[in-house]
Amino acid sequence: MTKIIAERSDGIEMRSFHGFADVEAVKDLRPRQQSIWDLSGPGRGRRVAVGPNAIIVDVAPDVGVFVRYECWDGPPDPYAEWEMVWNGPLFLASGRVCAVQENQGEKGYFPVFDLGREMTQWSARLLSKFVDNDREPLFPRDIYEVTLLTLQLWP
C-alpha cells in the first residue's frame, strides 16, 4: 500500500494560472534546461501540455485556482470525485516545483514544493475539481467557484 511522503496546499487563490514548473529552470538558474516558457500551450481539444520541467494547464481565465502538491512513495489511488486531467512522466531538473501565473507578460511564481531529488523523472498525475462551495477538506474553507488542482508525484 502506498503512502504519502509530503504534501502541501498553499491556500493562495491564483488568477491567470499558467501551470507548474521546475522553479530553477523557469527562473533560468539552470540555463541548459527547458522551462515552461519554451512550451506552447495545449493543443486543440486538450487541457494540458507537458515538457521537461513544465506542465501548462488550460483553465478558465475568470476562475480562481488553488493548487495542492503530493509526493507519494508509489502510485496513489486517484481521488474518486476528481477528474484525472493528465497522467504521465515529468522530468524535473531541480526537483523543486512551483505554480506559475502569467498575465499580459507579468509572471508570478508561487511557493515551492521540494521533492528532494534533482535530475529525476517522476511519475505524475494531475487531478482537477471545480467547486462552488466550501466543503473540500484539503483546501481552505472560504473558497467559492474555483478550480482545485492536485499534482501527485512519485518516483
In the prediction, which pLDDT does 141 show? 74
pLDDT of residue 79: 87
Q: What gap in Å lies between CA 50 and CA 73, rounded to an integer?
A: 22
Phi then psi for residue 5, to 5 deg, are -95, -45
Q: What tens digit of pLDDT does each residue of 42-55 get?
A: 988 899 999 999 99
pLDDT at residue 137 in the model: 72
Contacts of residue 50, Cβ cutoff 8 Å, sequence gap at least 6? 39, 56, 86, 88, 90
Confidence of residue 129 (pLDDT cuts 50, 70, 90): very high
Dig out the grid coordinates for 116 from the structure: 528532494
Q: What is the mean pLDDT of the chain?
A: 91
pLDDT band at 26 (very low <50, low <70, confident <90, very high): very high
Least-confidence region, from 16-25, 126-135, 136-145: 136-145
Question: Average pLDDT in the 119-131 region?
Answer: 95
53 and 4 in contact (C-beta within 8 Å)? no
pLDDT-above-90 percentage for the chain: 70
Domains, the chain? 4-154 (2.60.34.30)
69-121: pLDDT as tens digits = 999 999 999 888 899 999 999 999 999 999 999 988 899 999 999 999 999 99
The whole model's pTM is what? 0.90
